[in-house]
Structure 1
């Protein structure tokens, strides 16, 4: 299952990149939702950095692992990982439209590698429209935060 959200942000690409690449901030938000997250190796995130966590996924607590695959300043951040037979990829791409306008494209894709994961994705497909709407709203909210932060200076 794949979700894509595109938002144009009234801010320079460097400002948007600083927010997209603020891994510590995202990690802090996740810690409030899932509890324990472990980064390896500790220190600044770079390609190859991994995160291990326990999180509720589809109503069950599961071990989740993610790896930072690429970080191409200021245009691409990608992660991959998964849980229990499910592979997940996330890509955040930035495109310079003009000096004060940046296009943000966030793509998330989940692929099943086991029967249990296929069943989990099948259930999610029944709620696809609701999930897609929520996904797009979260990306839109992030874009608004970035824009507001740039406007404040």
Structure 2
């Protein structure tokens, strides 16, 4: 199952990529939300197999997720892979300069099932595709707006 959103940010592409690859701030944000996050690898060289193990509660059950940085192409692309007990997911973030001060961010999420329970979960997602798509686009728009505000505050 695929979700995609395109958002424009009023900042140069290099600044947007730097904000999107600030993995420490994402770790802190997850911890504030009650997620136990353990980094595996060196954050100073993210292209060399950086990964995270996350433990959290979702729908009343303890869940574990391994997130791996699959591809890190400075200024243009970040590819993350997520692996849990029932689902696999890939998130691709692509950046394109629209002008020297404007950047388009494309966020794509692809989910696949590994188990029967994962297939059932994906089937329920497919039945609610419209509302999930709206939520995904709204979250992506909020994320882009917050990123733009943070970049304009520091500029």
TM-score, structure 2 normalization: 0.90
Question: Per-residue deviation at 1:59?
Answer: 4.6
Q: Name the counterpart of 2:41.
A: 41
Q: How far apart, in 2, do the equivalents of 1:45 and 1:27 lie?
A: 16
Q: Name the counterpart of 1:19.
A: 19
Q: Name the counterpart of 1:65.
A: 66
Q: Name the counterpart of 1:98.
A: 99
Question: Per-residue deviation at 1:42?
Answer: 5.2
**Deviations 1:22-66 (Å, cap 9, x if unpaired)?**
111111111122431111125436131111111234553211111
TM-score, structure 1 normalization: 0.91
Over the aligned positions, Cα root-mean-square deviation in angstroms equals 1.7
Moved over 6 A (4+): none
* 2:128 counterpart of 1:127: yes
Q: How far apart, in 1, do the equivalents of 2:130 and 2:34 lie?
A: 25
Unaligned stretches of 5+ in structure 2?
none
Q: Name the counterpart of 1:136.
A: 137
> Which segment drifts farther, 1-10 or 40-49?
40-49
**Deviations 1:97-145 (Å, cap 9, x if unpaired)?**
1101110000011101211110111122222222211111111112112
- Where do residues 72-83 of structure 1 align in structure 2 (5 Å cutoff)? 72-83=73-84
Question: Per-residue deviation at 1:2?
Answer: 0.9
> Which segment drifts farther, 113-122 or 42-51?
42-51
SS of 1:121 mapped into structure 2: helix
Q: How far apart, in 2, do the equivalents of 1:80 and 1:73 lie?
A: 17
Q: How far apart, in 2, do the equivalents of 1:150 and 1:41 lie?
A: 27
1:108 to 1:34, Cα distance in 2 relative to 1, 3 A: farther
